[in-house]
Structure 1
């Protein structure tokens, strides 16, 4: 029997669902101990305290969270911003799947933005225009 692989974690060395939930809790409120992180995970996903502690340890070893000793427990906080992590994960996907054509990557960005809403597509256009201006200004300095 062939097991269908979960589409939520296709790439090796990516983050699992619980790791993302833990990071989300710490982005919303840094300096939480494991019990407080556990309490901020949605009730339908509620893992045990031991599981959350193991997840925090994995994230610490991956360099995504840092910690400070507070009495007998650690207080955790993220060591990476959401946008920085998103950039890293997107870079990993691009390096893994890139076929050598820039059009493939750009088309994917446009499709994702369009799927979100019209505002996201407008934001993408604004980012492109801003980057063009920055590049144009840089050429004038040479």
Structure 2
């Protein structure tokens, strides 16, 4: 799957999808969003349909509605974006050096811990 950034509304919708282990309906997302912004139900419907078409969510029909689930976790998506950035960034060693140089002490400790554990999705 090509890794591109989400639009503002897509990112907001995906936050709602990732937050619910039992999946979400368009109505669920619409009801949550109307508390913070003016938005039409059909806009949420179109956005979720677009996310499905792009492969970011899967859906199953439940009665007259669909229930949506993410096709990958937020962490998997972030890792894929990082992989794409390393691939497109030219000199990988230089990209990594700049990346590590911008880390906080806590992030650096988390990176060292991840390297010690070898990572579960490690490429060979």
For structure 1, list consecutive stretches of 5 or more residues without a partner in the other structure: 1-11, 115-120, 136-142
Equivalent of 2:5 in 7, 10, 14: 14
Question: In structure 1, what is the equivalent of residue 42 of structure 2?
Answer: 50
Q: Is the 8 A contact 1:25 1:41 kept in 2?
A: no
1:78 aligned onto 2:70:
yes
Q: Which moved more, 1:30-39 or 1:43-52?
A: 43-52
Q: What residue is the counterpart of 1:25 in the other structure?
A: 16
Does structure 1 residue 122 correspond to structure 2 residue 90? Answer: no
What is the alpha-carbon distance in structure 1 between the residues aligned to residue 38 and residue 97 of structure 2?
Answer: 38
Q: CA deviation at 1:44?
A: 3.9
If asked which structure has higher relative contact order (CA below 8 Å, sep 6+), I would say 2
Larger radius of gyration: 1
Unaligned segments of structure 2, at least 5 residues: 119-124
Pick from 40, 43, 52 the counterpart of residue 60 of structure 1: 52
After superposition, give the CA deviation of every residue in 1:42-81 in whole Å (9 maximum; x if it has no partner): 6444421111111111111222111110111101111210
Q: Quick check: which one's helix share is greater?
A: 1
Distance in 2, Cα, partners of 1:52 & 1:19: 9
What is the rounded CA distance, in whole Å, between the counterparts of 2:23 and 2:16 in structure 1? Answer: 10
How many residues are matched?
115
8 Å Cα contact 2:58-2:71 kept in structure 1: yes
Q: TM-score, normalised by structure 1?
A: 0.67
For residues 36 and 24 of structure 1, what CA distance do their matches in structure 2 show? 13
Q: What CA RMSD, in Å, does the superposition of the two structures yield over aligned residues? A: 2.4
Q: CA deviation at 1:122?
A: 2.6
CA-to-partner distance for each residue in 1:105-124, whole Å, 9 max, x for gaps? 3322441x32xxxxxx2342
